[in-house]
Amino acid sequence: MSPVPIEIYVDADACPVKAEVYRVAERYSLTVHVVTNAPIGVPRDPRIRLTLVGDGFDAADDWIAERAGKTDIVITADIPLADRCLKSGATVIGPTGKPFTMASIGGAMASRALMADLRAMGVATGGPKPLTQRDKSAFLSALDNAVVAIRRR
> Buried b vs exposed e over 111-127: b needs ≥16 C-beta within 10 Å?
eeeeeeeeeeeeeeeee
Half-sphere exposure of 23 (CA within 13 A, CB side): 11
Torsion of CA 69, 5, 23, 10, to 10 degrees: -20
Distances (CA, A) of 10 to 7, 42, 102: 10, 12, 20
pLDDT tens digits, the chain, 153 residues: what are they? Answer: 556 699 999 999 889 999 999 999 999 999 999 999 999 999 999 999 999 998 888 999 999 999 999 999 999 999 899 999 999 999 999 999 999 987 777 666 566 556 666 667 777 666 677 889 999 999 999 999 999 999 998
Q: What is the pLDDT of residue 153?
A: 82
Domains along the chain with CATH numbers: 7-152 (3.40.50)
